[in-house]
Amino acid sequence: MSRFPRKAALAVLLACAFGAHAQTDYNQRFLTQYNKIKNPANGYFSAEGVPYHSVETLIVEAPDHGHETTSEAYSFWLWMEAQYGRVTGDWGPLNAAWANMEKYIIPGTRDQPTNSFYNANKPASYAGEYALPKNYPSPLEFSTPVGQDPIGNELASTYGSRDIYGMHWLIDVDNWYGYGFCGDGVTKPAYINTFQRGAQESVWETVPHPSCETFKWGRTGNNQGFLSLFTGDSNYAKQWRYTNAPDADGRAIQAIYWANIWATEQGKGAAVADLVKKAAKMGDFLRYAMFDKYFKRIGNCVGATTCPGGSGAADSNGLRDNQHYLMSWYYAWGGAVDASAGWAWRISSSHNHFGYQNPMVAWTLSTQAAFKPLSPSAAGDWGKSFKRQMEFYRFLQSADGAIAGGATNSWNGNHEQPPAGTPTFYGMFYDEAPVYHDPASNTWFGFQVWSMQRVAELYYVSNDAQAKALLDKWVPWALANTRLLADGSYEIPNTLQWSGKPDTWNPANPGANANLRVKVTEFTNDVGVAAAYARTLSYYAAKAGNTAAKTTARELLDRMWAKYQDTKGVAVAEKRKDYLRFDDTYNAATGDGVYVPSGWTGTNAQGAVIDSNATFLSIRPKYKQDPDFAKLSAYLAGGAEPSWTYHRFWAQADIALAQADYGRLFPNTGPAIAVSSTALTVPEGASASFRVALSEKPAANVTVALAKTAGGDADLTTATTSLVFTPTTYATAQNVTVAAARDADAINGTATFTLSATGLTGATVVATERDSDVVVPVVLVVSATAVSVPETGSQSFTVKLASAPTGNVAVTVARSAGDTDIAVSSGASLVFTPANWNTAQTVTLAAAKDADSANGVATVSISAANAATRTVAATEVDNDVKSCAVVVDTTNDWGSGQVPSIKLSNLGTTPLSGWSLSFTESNAFTLTNSWSGTFSVNGRTVTITPAAWNGTIAPNSSVELGMQLSYSGAKPVPTNVSWANRTCDITVK
């Protein structure tokens, strides 16, 4: 008979008394892993609070240095803080993480300064992709047709700005390369980029370069920078450019979905309400991943010059002709550094990998009211994307169950003709290894578990039948290839080998893909992939009641926890044979090695020479200063292959998340030690307490042992070593007091106290000393980085804090530079307290009347003690400035006929819609042709209204129209040119 007769009612009452259900082992493990990651001594974060790609610096994968970071790492950080909020009820760290993301890896207005010149009718100039780096630079083909961007003007109208709200995929956290911000060489973190030259360009062939190209480094001569390695042009321009990784932005949105669910359950939905809005906004812009790279027509798009650009018009089913509705590999945007140059561009990607799909996010953004983006067509686009993504998985699911590569709208990246018999998905061509080939992108099991985890979450929250069908086939395949070994370790798939092809997609009757097969050729004990795999199995098991999936998930989590923990997290040693490529020179026969064209010579910010003799290591000479370089050097010299142990941020976070997911999905129902809090803050020189009870009545007395885990802060102690509970007193909470001795350091030390008893699930409490010498940083959250203030009018923005402060925080708002006509009219002094820190306070700016006609700009600084100063760029909208211009050029005239060109420009800061232009010709004429508008003629008067696609003119953009006419006698010249209801600058040539 059990020592603990079950008393369900008493267990519920106890849980209510403690404010939460008793924590299971897995939630305790989450907190243990979380605290290791957040412990400054373990080195996961920079001084700016940015998560590194890995603790270790000598590591080469997609990032080519460990102290770079990625949007991937940020997305996992957000998810981890969301789980922390669920477990502890503290949502401050999640808000702070999002604010850090906005500050350092989402480019602000300063980082993308000329977006206002973007023309959605011509998003970018075409440049083809090629098989090998040696085929580059790729020439810009200005005559090759590109399509129109159907969401650019909608986004600008919705948010009042042309800025993109999405993460760049890669930043140099410590400015290791030395590029800094736009050539300053010192700012950190710094935006950088690497991959640029086709599917065969692995990390070992990349040439890292700054995202802001000022020609300070790169090719000798100071007029090309690094651009001429990648694109061919007759005249290179200084420019900025960023690349978004859609899977990371999707994961960030996914994290906020769960944060909103959990905070709402706690009655704290307001604590994450702003993040929900920002996640929805990020999802609005994430739609750029749904298009062909150059907005060309989707389906059978063969021939770069013959496949037409799409108009963005919707068919009878509401589907745009240049939108595939999948999550492609990237979207990118850029523009001129010179504000007077007047150009900007945007592209998407034609290549779609199954591993980047996120139907969970598509479902969230299309069905959950709080997450529906503000743009009119956005929720509908995401609804179409959800349907298309689910079909895509089905198209790619093999006969065995695993998911194959993907599909492309541009074969070989240059709209070539694919081999005969290539299967298609809505006219896009099946691609076994989309995007990259070294190594092939379809071989890593990690993509299987990352992508299917999203499908499993979708199944869990929505009971979607398509998701269930995919998992019902995928999970048995994965389980059949999972080995739980006698020594307590495990092996899961690592490398996959594919054969055959899927059947061409028929939505009415999908094929069985009998010839599409996969086998596992290598296994691994990788902890990050195992964690993602366990999360997939946990969600599936929780919904489907699948015992085998639940058991395997638990075994993976228990085994990695018991076998692979270290002081920094959970890690295993690995071999890296590819590190022999560190010093490979270019091999023309294989294409391996860094390719630099003969005669191209330059330098980078580390002082390295870049020429045709370059190697991966030679253009990264700082690697020779790395503490692990001696080990690498010995290997390169012919020594034994070493082992490397890495603490990758994404993997360590996913391990924490997997433990938390299992603890949430399968809460412990047996007898347990219940604690009032799993996290305890103890002021230096004082003490704090937590309470302990049992979750169920025991049959006999129970002694709970309490011990401090080795390695904790010596200043944190408790005099309690055991507690005794009887069948009568089991539900009566007993206090445990932890004291923090005063010390000489300024470190918030931590210590872990474990509580255990025979037959009970144990508990863990992590105590953190609040050192009186520590200055707690304040993070200011400002609602806008740029505002427009009408002359004689006002405009507002709001300020709040990212997390609760320890005391009152005084915030000062003042103009720090620029136009003196702009002033802070209210909100110059704000006070935030531990009670109102998350309540936004309003700052109002006013612009005084002046005599000039210039749109003055001022910098408004928001500052507080122990906080990084935030700035807002305030632009005066001068009421003496005309908001529009019309240029009619009649110089193309041959005495009996004429082709006038007409250009309508929006000089203002808001979109102009529903325009109408009229003028009267000075002589009789006959209109023989017209384009880009609806032309009506009444006598000699011409009235022009928009075509279906150009009725709205975005700020700093223009619409060009044309007509052809014949006449006799004097040349007709437009008079009385008028833009209806507007006063514009009029020019007639």
Which CATH number is 19's domain given? Answer: 2.60.40.10
pLDDT band at 11 (very low <50, low <70, confident <90, very high): very low
Q: Is 811 helix (H, G, I), strand (E, B) or coil?
A: strand
Residues 809 and 868 in one domain: yes
Residues 791 and 867 in one domain: yes
Residue 4 pLDDT > 50: no
From residue 936, alpha-carbon distances to 47, 693, 928 in Å are: 65, 85, 12
pLDDT band at 775 (very low <50, low <70, confident <90, very high): low
Distance of CA 943 to the CA centre of its chain: 47
What's the one-letter identity of residue 204? W
In a domain, 719, yes or no: yes
* Phi, psi angles (nearest 5°) of residue 104: -115, -25
Domain span including residue 690: 8-24+676-768
What's the whole-number mean pLDDT along residues 844-868? 88
Residues 859 and 903 in one domain: no
pLDDT tens digits for range 127-151: 999 999 999 999 999 999 999 999 9
Residues 849 and 941 in one domain: no
Strand partners, 902: 888, 961
pLDDT band at 821 (very low <50, low <70, confident <90, very high): very high
In a domain, 281, yes or no: no
CA proximity to 752, closest of 786, 811, 708? 708
In a domain, 960, yes or no: yes
What's the whole-number mean pLDDT along residues 826-843? 94
Q: Is 782 helix (H, G, I), strand (E, B) or coil?
A: strand
> Which of 848, 877, 906 is the C-terminal boundary of a domain?
877
The number of folded domains in the chain is: 3
Give me the sheet containing 794-801, strands edge to edge: 780-782, 794-801, 841-847, 822-826
In a domain, 742, yes or no: yes
From residue 281, alpha-carbon distances to 114, 158, 263 in Å are: 21, 10, 20
Residue 874 pLDDT > 50: yes
Residue 24 pLDDT > 70: no
**What distance separates the 2 farthest-apart alpha carbons in the chain?**
115
What's the whole-number mean pLDDT along residues 1-25? 39
Residues 848 and 928 in one domain: no
The answer to whether 351 and 331 are in contact (CB under 8 A) is no
CA proximity to 594, closest of 126, 277, 43, 207? 207
Query: How many percent of the chain have pLDDT more than 70?
Result: 97
Angle between helices 445-462 and 246-265 (to 10 degrees): 40
Query: How many percent of the chain have pLDDT more than 90?
Result: 81
Beta strands at 763-770 and 750-756: parallel, antiparallel or unpaired: antiparallel
> Is pTM, for the whole model, over 0.75?
no
Residues 898 and 873 in one domain: no
pLDDT band at 16 (very low <50, low <70, confident <90, very high): very low
Q: What is the per-residue pLDDT for 852? A: 75
Residue 509 pLDDT > 90: yes
In a domain, 928, yes or no: yes
- The domain that contains 965 carries what CATH number? 2.60.40.290
pLDDT band at 798 (very low <50, low <70, confident <90, very high): very high
pLDDT tens digits for range 607-620: 999 999 999 999 99
Residues 738 and 802 in one domain: no
In a domain, 894, yes or no: yes
> Which of 849, 877, 905 is the C-terminal boundary of a domain?
877
- CA quadruple 439, 441, 447, 448: dihedral sign: negative
Question: Active-site residues: which are they?
Answer: 487
pLDDT band at 725 (very low <50, low <70, confident <90, very high): very high
Alpha-carbon span 494 to 483, nearest angstrom? 12
In a domain, 759, yes or no: yes
Residue entry with tokens 């070989």: 412
In a domain, 751, yes or no: yes
Residues 731 and 811 in one domain: no
Mean pLDDT of the chain: 93
> Which of 839, 861, 877 is the C-terminal boundary of a domain?
877
